[in-house]
């Protein structure tokens, strides 16, 4: 069934009454579209010509040799147009919005990658676009704001709550409650009220379907993906979830420590069952049910909830959850840049970090497949500050001099 809605006890559609109408309408349209060859062909055509699919699977030969264990392969989602997997879902939903006759798109964004993908797709398909982004994220991902605006989107700062991704989701939901007759909410991860988790997974499963073909004949130990809300992970894992092999490993943001507020690990026992932003899942919250602050060096993993299907598969034991710290992610960023000439997005570098750990002790006959969900150009202000602060600060000062002078 394409719309499962519940995954074990997780999922559902827990929204204010006003949002039932647009969600019912969306579910119907989605079901119909997925049976419609014209729709599927249009999606496939844009995947090929606009996104640049299929994305390659690279054998990371130097990295493998250096680590001296399992063979590392990298699925290069970062080569997709706009730099991350987010565009797979953006294209799918934007086509659906057109099918529904919607003229306007709203979206939330954390790192800015989903916002960029949505803004680009709206430019391509001729849709009006507004992106909600937390004020904290706007500060740490300013270049992405510039790109979104260049694509013609309106970027609206969100100053409520913790001023990050979760608050941008809240604001988009509020907008939609009043605007749904002409507006589609293009949610960026495999979470939120049904049918979003099913729909986002379906559009992102293009990653897993390609990977399945690309690894045919290989002995694969595990697939490894980072987990923010969970869209790249579930899309990558999807063709394998009903099989016993390979191992499926989701990597959460270990941040700067194990105290609440210092990381975004929901699946290490810290997450509690809650109903937030339309779905039941595991969330970082206090005893009263108030969501807690999270931290990650990567804005895209800095979110207190996890998509319901991943939570369900975690509970079942099909997906194993690990964590990588801010520092480990930066180390992985450097490692793959030096050895493979590839710059991971900081989010994806968390998966890279886990692959490095696993490869060390791994079987040389077996492969580890890492999903590089995005490329790291967007992170220059964070990565440069963390890895080469003196030079970077000097550069920034010099730049300022030019403008002030």
Partner 1 sequence: MKGKLMAHLVASYPNYDSSLAIVEALVRGGATMIEIQFPFSDPTADGPVIQDACRRALDGGFRVDDGFRLVKEAALLAPVFIMSYGNIVFSRGIEDFVAASKDAGALGLIIADLTPGYDGGLYRAGRSAGMEIIPVVVPTVTDKRLEEITSIHPAYIYAAMRVGITGKRTDFGKESIAFLGRLATTGARILAGFGISSGEQVALLGDAAYSPVVGSAFVREIAKGGDYLERITALTAGLVSG
- Residues marked as catalytic: 86, 108, 373
CA distances from 170 to 15, 131, 261 (A): 11, 12, 20
Does position 203 interact with partner 1 (CB under 8 A)? The reply is: no
Structure tokens at 325: 């710290």
**Closest by CA position to 124, among listed 55, 46, 202, 184:** 46
Does position 101 interact with partner 1 (CB under 8 A)? The reply is: no
Query: Which of partner 1, ligand PLP, none is residue 291 near (CB under 5 to 8 Å by kind)?
Result: partner 1
Contacts (CB under 6 A) with ligand PLP, residues 314-373: 345, 347-348, 373
* Least Å from the CB of residue 324 to ligand PLP: 13
- DSSP states along 120-158: HHHHHHT-EEEEEEEHHHHHHTHHHHHHHHHTTPEEEEE
Query: Which of partner 1, ligand PLP, none is residue 189 near (CB under 5 to 8 Å by kind)?
Result: ligand PLP
Contacts (CB under 6 A) with ligand PLP, residues 81-140: 84, 86, 110-111, 113-114
* Least Å from the CB of residue 274 to ligand PLP: 18
Among 55, 118, 141, 231, binds ligand PLP (CB under 6 A): 231
Does position 37 interact with partner 1 (CB under 8 A)? The reply is: no
User: How many residues interact with ligand PLP (rule CB under 6 A)?
Assistant: 22
Contacts (CB under 8 A) with partner 1, residues 233-272: 272
| Alpha-carbon gap, residue 385 to 401, rounded angstroms | 19
Query: Which of partner 1, ligand PLP, none is residue 287 near (CB under 5 to 8 Å by kind)?
Result: partner 1
Complex with partner 1: residue 21 or 258, whichever CB lies closer: 21
Does position 173 interact with partner 1 (CB under 8 A)? The reply is: yes
Structure tokens at 339: 């050895």
Among 70, 194, 205, 232, binds ligand PLP (CB under 6 A): 232
Complex with partner 1: residue 161 or 239, whichever CB lies closer: 161
Does position 108 interact with partner 1 (CB under 8 A)? The reply is: no
Among 12, 274, 300, 362, binds ligand PLP (CB under 6 A): 300
Among 208, 228, 314, 352, binds ligand PLP (CB under 6 A): 228
For 288-327, letters b (16+ CB in 10 Å) and e give eeebeebbbbbbbbbbbbbbbbbbbbbeeebbbbbbbbbe
- In eight-state DSSP terms, residue 374 is B
Does position 28 interact with partner 1 (CB under 8 A)? The reply is: no
Q: Which helix (H) or strand (E) holds 175?
A: helix 165-179
**Please, which residues bridge with residue 184 across strands?**
105
Complex with ligand PLP: residue 120 or 345, whichever CB lies closer: 345
Among 166, 201, 323, 375, binds partner 1 (CB under 8 A): 166
| Alpha-carbon gap, residue 223 to 248, rounded angstroms | 5
Complex with partner 1: residue 12 or 92, whichever CB lies closer: 12
CA distances from 221 to 72, 246, 339 (A): 10, 5, 22
Count of CA atoms in the C-beta half-sphere (13 A) of 332 = 28
Counting Cβ atoms within 10 Å, is residue 251 exposed (0-12), middle (13-18) or buried (19+)? buried
Which of these ranges, 38-46, 223-231, 238-246, 319-327, lies near ligand PLP under the rule CB under 6 A?
223-231
Count of CA atoms in the C-beta half-sphere (13 A) of 184 = 28
| Alpha-carbon gap, residue 51 to 121, rounded angstroms | 10
Residues that bind partner 1 (CB under 8 A): 12-18, 20-21, 160-161, 166-167, 170, 173-174, 177-178, 180, 272-278, 280, 283, 285, 287-291
Residues that bind ligand PLP (CB under 6 A): 84, 86, 110-111, 113-114, 189, 226-233, 300-301, 345, 347-348, 373-374
């Amino acid at each position: 069934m394409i719309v499962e809605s519940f995954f074990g006890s997780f999922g559902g559609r827990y929204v204010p009454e006003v949002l039932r109408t647009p969600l019912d309408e969306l579910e119907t349209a989605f079901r119909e579209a997925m049976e419609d060859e014209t729709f599927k062909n249009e999606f496939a055509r844009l995947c090929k010509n606009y996104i640049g699919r299929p994305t390659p699977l690279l054998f990371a030969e130097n990295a493998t040799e250096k680590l001296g264990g399992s063979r590392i392969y990298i699925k290069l989602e970062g080569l997709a147009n706009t730099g991350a997997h987010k565009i797979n879902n953006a294209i799918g939903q934007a086509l659906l919005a057109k099918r529904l006759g919607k003229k306007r798109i709203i979206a939330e964004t954390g790192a800015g990658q989903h916002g960029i993908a949505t803004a680009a797709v709206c430019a391509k398909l001729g849709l009006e676009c507004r992106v909600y982004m937390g004020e904290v994220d706007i500060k740490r991902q300013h270049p992405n704001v510039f790109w979104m605006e260049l694509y013609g989107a309106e970027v609206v700062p969100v100053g409520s709550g913790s001023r990050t991704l979760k608050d941008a989701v809240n604001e988009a939901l509020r907008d939609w409650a009043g605007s749904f007759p002409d507006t589609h909410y293009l949610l960026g991860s495999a979470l939120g009220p049904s049918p979003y988790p099913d729909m986002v997974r379906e559009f992102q499963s293009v990653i897993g379907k390609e990977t399945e073909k690309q690894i045919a004949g290989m002995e694969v130990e595990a697939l490894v993906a980072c987990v923010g809300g969970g869209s790249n992970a579930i899309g990558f894992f999807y063709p394998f979830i009903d099989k016993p092999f390979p191992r499926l490993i989701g990597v959460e943001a270990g941040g700067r420590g194990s105290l609440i507020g210092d990381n975004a690990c929901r699946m290490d026992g810290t997450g509690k069952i809650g109903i937030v932003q339309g779905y039941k899942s595991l969330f970082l919250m206090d005893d009263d049910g108030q969501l807690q602050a999270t931290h990650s060096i990567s804005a895209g993993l800095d979110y207190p909830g996890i998509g319901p299907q991943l939570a369900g598969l975690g509970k079942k034991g099909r997906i194993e959850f690990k964590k990588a710290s801010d520092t480990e992610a930066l180390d992985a960023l450097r490692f793959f840049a030096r050895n493979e000439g590839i710059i991971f997005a900081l989010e994806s570098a968390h998966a890279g970090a886990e692959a490095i750990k696993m490869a060390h002790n791994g079987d040389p006959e077996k492969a580890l497949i890492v999903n590089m969900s995005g490329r790291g150009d967007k992170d220059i202000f964070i990565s440069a500050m963390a890895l080469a602060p003196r030079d970077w600060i000097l550069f920034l000062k010099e730049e300022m001099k030019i403008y002030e002078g």
